[in-house]
């Protein structure tokens, strides 16, 4: 690694550490306020961000978008033409061959759609655990911020109880 790369890496580490320290200090400051609501702002923002990430994952998932419609095989074998004339045997054989070829194509399409359905079902089954894992992972900052909030509010409650006790002693 070059010296420029090391400097950029160290600068990024210091910058990221400063941002995290600033967020923690802001959370402590907001949690120590008289009202309890300012201390809940940061955890709610973090939780909202995790939900936004989850909805983004759902919206931009890589699940196949092949339409899962049944394929209807269209074709009739009628020897009567539009002007009520019968077609020759040679023409009917060509017609039957064309219909058989078309039915083979339709069967291949149906097989492909069934394979896509199987992949879709496998993807859908593995999708829920991934979403749960992502939700848990993205809420780690929320849990840390809530722990800071609970710690600050707990010490504030103890201080208030001590003040009440001192007031009663007088």
Q: What is the pLDDT of residues 77-134, one digit of tens each?
A: 444 555 555 566 777 778 788 888 888 888 888 888 888 877 777 666 677 788 889 8
Residue 116 near residue 66, CB atoms below 8 Å: yes
Output the CA torsion sign for 148, 150, 155, 159. positive
Q: What is the pLDDT of residue 56?
A: 86
Q: What is the pLDDT of residue 50?
A: 94
Q: How confident is the model at residue 16 (pLDDT cuts 50, 70, 90)?
A: very high
3-state class (DSSP) for residue 86: strand
Q: What is the pLDDT of residue 125?
A: 65
Q: What is the pLDDT of residue 119?
A: 75
For residue 48, count other CB atoms closer than 10 A to its CB: 11
d(CA 7, CA 9): 5
- Residue 99: which residues within 8 A CB-CB, separation 6 or more? 75, 77
């Amino acid at each position: 690694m070059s010296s420029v790369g090391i400097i950029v890496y160290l600068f990024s580490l210091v910058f990221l550490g400063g941002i995290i320290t600033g967020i923690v200090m802001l959370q402590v400051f907001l949690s120590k306020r008289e009202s309890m609501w300012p201390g809940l702002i940061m955890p709610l923002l973090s939780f909202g961000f995790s939900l936004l990430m989850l909805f983004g994952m759902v919206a931009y998932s890589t699940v196949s978008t092949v339409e899962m419609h049944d394929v209807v095989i269209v074709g009739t074998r009628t020897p009567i033409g539009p002007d009520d004339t019968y077609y020759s045997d040679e023409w009917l054989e060509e017609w039957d061959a064309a219909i058989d070829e078309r039915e083979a194509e339709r069967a291949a399409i149906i097989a492909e759609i069934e394979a896509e359905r199987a992949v879709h079902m496998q993807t859908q089954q593995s999708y829920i655990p991934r979403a749960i894992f992502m939700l848990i992972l993205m809420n780690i900052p929320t849990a840390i911020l809530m722990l800071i909030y609970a710690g600050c509010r707990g010490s504030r409650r103890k201080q208030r109880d001590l003040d009440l006790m001192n007031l009663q002693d007088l």
